[in-house]
Amino acid sequence: PNPQVEILLAVSRVGKCRLETESAKLLVEKYKTLFVVSLCSVKELCEVEGIGRKTAEGILRTLGRELNV
């Protein structure tokens, strides 16, 4: 298993967002690292199949991002 995917899934559990394993894999495939994911906008994360606005916001907030929504 890819450690980046495992960390992303753990982050989603902490943030109580619904991130499926396949969506986590797609995020890592597209953005490569959790650090790059943390720099994305909500809109960019939502471009990945299976990622909705609430999930994207939850991931970014759990990673310490303040969002103006």
Over range 9-20, report the average pLDDT: 89
- Check residues 69 and 58 and name the one with the higher pLDDT: 58
Is residue 17 very low, low, confident or very high in pLDDT (cuts 50, 70, 90)? confident
Instruction: Quote the pTM value.
Output: 0.86
pLDDT of residue 69: 61
Give tens-digit pLDDT for 22-68: 999 999 999 999 999 999 999 999 999 999 999 999 999 999 888 87
Q: What is the pLDDT of residue 22?
A: 95
Q: How many residues does the chain have?
A: 69
